[in-house]
Amino acid sequence: MNALLAMLRTAVPGVGVHWAGAPQGAALPYVVLYPDIGIESTADRSLSDAVPNDLRYQVTCVGGSAEQAAWTADKVAAALLATVPTVAGRRVRPARQEAAQPVRRDDESVGLWIATAQYLTRSERV
């Protein structure tokens, strides 16, 4: 997860990138990654019985307007789909977007809009 955070912070300058929550009063726009704990992949078991790990995570892009949230989501998607993070001792595959929801008003806060998408990043030991 740290490699993904670092990659996004470099790829989307001027946008805050946070893990599992943003600090109170974070400057807009910002991105929050909500990862699962990772599981062994159900695919691609090798002859040596090595199993890749699947990391699924939601990316929530937050803006002061629907346009700002959508713009941020576009920038994040472009970075995740075009850039592969480097992790020592692992081969990381390009991310795949698995789902997304329409941009919508965040009902839990005043004046914020969110765009969410779910991604999968698979990696294996080298």
Burial of 13 (0-12, 13-18, 19+ CB in 10 A): exposed
CATH code for position 83: 3.30.2000.30
Count structural domains, the chain.
1
> pLDDT per residue over 29-87, tens digit each?
999 999 987 665 666 555 555 677 888 999 999 999 999 999 999 999 999 999 999 99
Cα angle value 34/121/125 (rounded, 5°): 120
> pLDDT per residue over 86-105, tens digit each?
999 999 999 999 999 999 99
Range of the domain at 20: 2-125
